[in-house]
Amino acid sequence: MLTLDCPYCGLAKDETELSYGGEAHLKRHGPGSSAAEMEEYLFTRENPKGLHFERWRCSAGCGKWFHAARCTVTMEVFGTYAAQTFEPPAEIKKAITAKRPGWTWRNFQ
């Protein structure tokens, strides 16, 4: 069972109270973008064995979307943070570096 802290409720919520929202930090390519960019936006997804960034919604609680950084192998959660961010905040990156030195995920490191 995956347990995540909702940054809005400030409470630990278990998987059954949350909804999964796919990969985090996708850049939407709109009108004027190339076919390759559109393909990237629609279909190309990370499928890592290890560190991953995801979107989750506190669906049976406050209803807010948030981001989570976790490990897909150990189910370890490095932290959760607000959805209104383009990249993981410094404290999340620091928490990941402490456990997984030299980590990279897409353009982040």
Short-list 72, 55, 69, CA closest to 19: 55
Binding mask 14-43 for another protein (x = CB under 8 A): x-xx--------------------------
Given the DSSP bridges, would you call strands 51-57 and 77-82 parallel, antiparallel or unpaired? unpaired
2 contacts another protein (rule: CB under 8 A): no
User: Minimum CB separation from another protein for residue 18, in Å?
Assistant: 10
Interacting stretch for another protein, rule CB under 8 A, among 7-15, 36-44, 49-57, 96-104?
Answer: 7-15
Q: How far apart are CA 106 and CA 52, in angstroms?
A: 10
Task: Tell me how far apart the alpha carbons of residues 82 and 64 are, in angstroms, rounded to a whole number.
Answer: 9
Please, are residues 62 and 76 in contact by the beta-carbon 8 Å criterion?
Answer: no
**Window contacting another protein (CB under 8 A); options: 12-20, 38-46, 68-76, 94-102:** 12-20
**Part in contact with another protein (CB under 8 A); list of ranges 11-19, 34-42, 69-77, 95-103:** 11-19
Backbone angles phi, psi at 32, to 5 degrees: 90, -5
- Give me the least distance between CB of 17 and another protein, in Å please: 6
